[in-house]
Amino acid sequence: MSDRLRIALQKKGRLADDSFALLKACGLRFSVRGGSLLVRVKNMPIDLLLVRDDDIASFVSNDAADIGIVGENVLVEEQLTSALDAQIAMKLGFSRCRLCLASPERGSVQSAADLSGTRIATTYPGVTGRFLKERGISAKLVEMKGAVELAPSIGVAESICDLVSTGATLEANGLMAFETILESEAVLIRSARDMSPEKADLFDKLMRRVEGVIKSTDSKYIMLNAPKSQIVAITALLPGSDSPTVIPLAGTEDLVAIQAVCTETVFWETLEDLKALGARAILVLPIEKMMS
Ligand SMILES: Nc1ncnc2c1ncn2[C@@H]1O[C@H](COP(=O)(O)OP(=O)(O)OP(=O)(O)O)[C@@H](O)[C@H]1O
Ligand SMILES: O=P(O)(O)OC[C@H]1O[C@H](OP(=O)(O)OP(=O)(O)O)[C@H](O)[C@@H]1O
Ligand SMILES: [Mg+2]
């Protein structure tokens, strides 16, 4: 393979936009246009291979790509159903969903205990089969490529095992989830093989940048004015900030400005609690990048 680091990404779909955005936030300059399947990054020796998500783990495994971004659900499924030499290098925090068993609200299957001797429609025979084996349940798997939620209403299965995010698709099809068998998010994968020293350096550099971008996604810069007497209480309320900057405010003895980086999510509730302690002029600012 060439000296350029090749990254396999989903061309179009639920992973694509966030994968492109993550790489752009890491400083990679590229444009994805129309039908191009191999995109050259302009400012780094990196190529992007744009494919169906089903092919990403096997490409990484077969050396057609060095690394890739795929759903954990697809990775685990492929690890269970084919010999795969691809492993998770980093969890990325987007495209979160869960693989759930679900059935019609008033059907014969209401829990995992009712599954024996029934049919389960799924696109994930590997993960579903593993769950059944672990529980000692004997049920028939009906493999489908898509539209799995239709299976109970057309009579091909009593329940399904499919991805759920908001639950809207299940609800629209009169189904209820009764068991989560896998939690999933987008993951960055690499093969277990050694890379050339140049590629390994580039990979490490990229990993540090990805880490910085992910950290900054949850982090916020908080600025507020507060009574001096409440510095300790206010600091305790700011999630993940160990030592805030405290600055005197011109023209007042008892008020200070407090500034802190919060490394966890700041909720509306946190802001209300801060206000209750006397904090005023609260600003929550996004952080673009973080390097430690
Ligand atoms: N509703 C959802 N919410 C969040 N993430 C999801 C959702 N559905 C799927 N995902 C995640 O996004 C991945 C890709 O989903 P998508 O629906 O784009 O796949 P696909 O139709 O198989 O695409 P492709 O055309 O690349 O084969 C899934 O494997 C899963 O990890
Ligand atoms: O719980 P929800 O928020 O409703 O999401 C769940 C749905 O999302 C995914 O399908 P998608 O919409 O990507 O279509 P697809 O089945 O054609 O891939 C998944 O296969 C479910 O059907
Ligand atoms: Mg697919």
What is the DSSP track for 226-259?
Answer: EEGGGHHHHHHHSTT-SS-EEEE-TT-SSEEEEE
Q: What are the pocket residues of ligand 2 if the criterion is a CB atom closer than 6 Å to any ligand atom?
A: 14, 146, 162-169
Q: For residue 163, give the ligand 2 atom closest to its CA.
A: 19
Ligand 1 pocket (Cβ < 6 Å) reads: 10, 13-15, 52-54, 71, 73-74, 95, 97, 163, 165, 184
Ligand nearest to the CA of 74: 1
Q: Where are the domains of the chain?
A: 5-94+186-216, 97-184, 219-286
Whole-number pLDDT of residue 142: 98
Superfamily of structural domain 97-184 = Periplasmic binding protein-like II (3.40.190.10)
Alpha carbon of 194 to ligand 2 centroid (Å): 36
Kindly give the distance from the C-alpha atom of residue 73 to the centroid of ligand 2, in angstroms, as a whole number. 13
219-286: CATH number: 3.30.70.120
Ligand 3 centre to CA of 74 (Å) is 8
CA of 283 to the centre of ligand 3 (A): 42
* Pocket test residue of 10, 11, 12, 14 for ligand 1, highest count of atoms within 8 A of CB: 14
Note if the pTM is more than 0.95: no
Q: What is the pLDDT of residue 26?
A: 96
Residue 1 has a pLDDT of 61
Cα-based angle 146, 55, 150 (whole degrees, multiple of 5): 5
Residue to mutate, 53, 94, 148, 183, ligand 1, most ligand atoms under 8 Å from C-beta:
53
DSSP string, 60-109: HHTTS-SEEEEEHHHHHHHHHHS---EEEEEE---S-EEEEEEEETTSS-
Centre of ligand 3 to C-alpha 10, Å, is 9
Structural element, H or E, at residue 213: helix 197-218
Long-range contacts of 29-34 (CB under 8 A, 24+ apart): none
Burial 127-141 (b: 16+ CB within 10 A, else e): bbbbbbeeeebebeb
Q: Which two tokens stand for residue 165?
A: 């995010």
5-94+186-216 and 97-184 share one CATH topology? yes
Which pLDDT does position 240 carry in this prediction? 76
Residue 223's pLDDT is 95
Q: Which atom, in ligand 2's list, is nearest to the CA of 168?
A: 4
Report the nearest atom of ligand 1 relative to the CA of 186: 31
Answer for the pair 104, 151: CB distance below 8 angstroms, yes or no.
no
**In 3D, which of 187, 193, 195 has the Cα closest to residue 53?**
187
**Residue 164 backbone dihedrals phi, psi, to 5 degrees:** -130, 135
Closest CA to 286 of 225, 240, 217: 217
Contact call for residues 70 and 9 (beta carbons, < 8 A): no
Ordered per-residue pLDDT tens for the chain, 292 residues = 678 999 999 999 999 999 999 999 999 999 998 788 999 999 999 999 999 999 999 999 999 999 999 999 999 999 999 989 899 999 999 999 999 999 999 899 999 999 999 999 999 999 999 999 999 999 999 999 999 999 999 999 999 999 999 999 999 999 999 999 999 999 999 999 999 999 999 999 999 999 999 988 888 999 999 999 999 999 999 987 778 999 999 999 999 999 999 887 788 899 999 999 999 999 999 998 888 7
Q: How far is ligand 1, taken at its centre, from the CA of residue 203, in Å? A: 25
CATH class of 5-94+186-216: alpha beta
